[in-house]
Amino acid sequence: MRGMMDLLRRGAASALAGGVVALLAASVAHAQLAPPPGPTVEAIKKRGVLNCGIDTGVPGFASQDSSGKWKGIDIDYCRALAAAVLGDPDKIKYTSTTAAARFTVLQSGEIDVLIRDSTLTFIRSTSLGLDEVAINFYAGQGFLVRKALGVTKAADLQGATICTVTGATLELNIADFARSTGAKIGTLLFDKAEEAIAAMEAGRCDGYTDDSGSLAGMRSTLKVPGDWMVLPDLISKEPLGLHIRSGDARWQKIVFWLDTALKTAEEFGVTQANADQLKATSKDPFVLRLLGAEGDFGKMLGLDNDWSYRAIKASGNYGEMYDRHWGPKALDLPRGLNNLWNKGGMHYTLPLR
What are the backbone angles phi and psi of residue 219, rounded to the nearest 5°?
Answer: -60, -35
Tell me the per-residue pLDDT of 150-206, one tens digit each, with 9 for 90 and over.
999 999 999 999 999 998 889 889 999 988 988 899 999 999 999 999 999 999 999
* 143 CB-near residues (< 8 Å, 6+ apart): 154, 157, 162, 207, 208, 209, 215, 230, 231
Scanning 142-248, the segments in alpha helix (DSSP H) are 170-181, 193-201, 212-219
pLDDT in tens, 300-323: 999 999 999 999 999 999 999 999
Q: How confident is the model at residue 24 (pLDDT cuts 50, 70, 90)?
A: very low
Q: Is the pLDDT of residue 126 over 60?
A: yes
Domains and CATH numbers, the chain: 39-139+239-338 (3.40.190.10), 141-236 (3.40.190.10)
The pLDDT tens digits for 225-235 are 999 999 999 99
Q: Is the pLDDT of residue 27 over 50?
A: no
Q: What values do phi and psi take at 97, rounded to 5?
A: -130, 145
Task: Give the confidence band of 10 by pLDDT, cuts at 50, 70, 90.
Answer: low
Helix (H) / strand (E) element for 241: namely: strand 238-245
* Tens digits of residue pLDDT in 244-256: 999 999 999 999 9
Per-residue model confidence (pLDDT) at position 33: 54
This prediction has a pTM of: 0.88
